[in-house]
Structure 1
Amino acid sequence: MSEVFINGTEPITFDNLYQPYLVNKETGKLATLNTPIDLVEERIYLVPPPEAAEWAQLAGLERPPQEYDTLTDLGDQHPDVRITTPASFSYLRDDIVVRGYANPEDFDYYRLQYGNGLNPTRWVQIGDDNSKQVRGGTLARWKTEGLNGLYTLQLVVVDDDGHISTHAIHVTVDNQPPHVEILLPEPDQALRGNSRQEMVIEVEVTDNFGVERVEFYVDGIKVDTVTTPPYSIRWRMRTIGEHEIFIRAIDFAGNVAESDRVLFTVERP
C-alpha cells in the first residue's frame, strides 16, 4: 500500500531514528569480525538524538549495546602475526603508531590495511608491502586524518609459499572534538548571595562517540570535574565582583574542546 502526499510535503530524507545493529545473540554485545557467523543477528533499535536521551531513559527504551563481543576463542591465532598496539576497541585520533609482530617462519612480506566497519568489504593499504620482519616493533604509522568511525585494522603476513596469516583488531577513530556550551550562568549575569550560598554552573556537551570528562574552571582555576551527564556543578559564591568561567571537554579519543568565556558578577544582598 502506497501513501499519497500533498505536493510539496513528500518526505525527502531517510529515517535515521531506527538503526540496525549486528549483535551476538548469546552475549547481547555488538558482533565483531571474530564473532561466529551463526551467532550474529541483526536487531533494530530506536536511537533518539542527544537532546532526547533523557526522555528515552525515562521512557525505558531499550538502548543498543555499547560493548563489543570479546569472548570469541582465538586459540589458533599465530603468535608471530599480531598487532599489540593499539589495543582492540580503543579510541584513536591523529597519527597512530601500530606495533606488533610479523616474524613467522618462511616469512616473505607483510602489509597493514584498514577497512570501514566490523566486516569491511573494501580495504585501504597503509604504506607499502614490507619485506623486513618485525618482532614487537613498529609495523607502520597510520595517518587517520579525515577518518571518523569504527574501523577494522588488519595485519596480513605472507610466507614464501604464498600462505596468508592475518590478525585484525577493531578501533574507533575520532578526529572530531566535542561541542561545549555554557548554559548557566548567562553572560554578564549578576547573581546575589552570601558567601555560604551556591550558584549552578550548567553546560551542554555533545560528542559523536562519547565524553570522558568535563572540567569546570572559574577564574582560571579548575574547581571540579564531571564524568557523567548532566554536566553541572554547584559553586560557592565566596568572593564578590566579576568572575570568568570556561569549560574544557575531553572525549574518549583525547580530543579537547573549550567553551567561550562567560563573565558574571557576584553581589551581596
Structure 2
Amino acid sequence: MSWWQVIVLAVVQGLTEFLPVSSSGHLAITSRIFFSDDAGASFTAVSQLGTEAAVLVYFSRDIVRILRAWVNGLLVKSHRNTDYRLGWYVIIGTIPICVLGLFFKDEIRSDVRNLWVVAIALVAFSAVIALAEYLGRQSRHMESLSWRDAVVVGVAQTLALIPGVSRSGSTISAGLFLGLDRALAARFGFLLAIPAVFASGLFSLPDAFHPVTEGMSATGPQLLVATAIAFVIGLTAVAWLLRFLVRHSMYWFVGYRVLAGVCVLVLLATGTVAAT
C-alpha cells in the first residue's frame, strides 16, 4: 500500500464512518476503482480505531458519567439510575455483533467484500432507512430506553458486517422503528459501536500487515497515520452528523446511497471495475 493510498482511504474512512452510507463499503469501492485492489477488511477494521477514538473524545463526558454510574449501581442498588441502565444496554447490545463477527470472520474478510454485494446493499438498505424515517414516531426519549431496545439495536448492528449496509444506518433505523427520537437513536448507536469496533480493530491488527486473503498490506507507520487521519476527520464528522440529525431526516443519505449504488452497478455491468 502506497502512502497516497493510505491517505485517500483514511480520509474516506473518516468522512463516512458515522454517516449512514457505509464506510467499509466506501473503502472497498474506492480502493477497487482508484487502486485496482482491495484495501482489505483488516485495514478497514484498524483504521476504524481512529474514528472510534473520535467517538471516545466526543462522548468522553457521557462515557465517564455512564461508567461511574454503572460501577456505583453495581455497588449500591439505590444508585441504579438511567446512566447505570444505559451501561448495561451497551453491554447487552454489543454481544450479537461480537458473536457473529467471530463466527463469520472468514466470510467478512473475503466473500462479502464483493462489489456486487456492496452495491446491492447500498441500494437495498436505502429502502429500510427510508421506511424507518417514514414510520418512526420519534416519541421516545432516553428515560424510556429498555433492554429490549438494546437487543433489537444490537442485532441490527450485526448487519454492518456486510459492507454497504452501514453501522449507523442500521442502528439509527432500528431506533426509529422502535419509536426513539432520531438524535437518541444516533447517540445510542455510536455508544454501542465503541466496544465492538475497538475489539474488531485490535483483533484484526496483525492481519492488516499480512492480509489472510487478497488485499493490500500496510506498514506500521502507515496504519498509525491512517488511524490519526481518520480520527481528526471523524471527530468533525460525528459532531456534524449529530447536529444535522436534530433538524434533518435521513432521506438525504437515502438519495446518495441509491445514486452511489447504481453507479457501482453500472461500472460492474460494463466491466469497467472488477467485483473482486
* Larger fraction in helix: 2
Same-fold call, TM cutoff 0.5: no
- Structure showing greater Rg: 1
* Larger fraction in strand: 1
Give the TM-score taking structure 2 as reference length.
0.24
For CA contacts below 8 A with separation 6 or more, give which structure has more relative contact order.
2
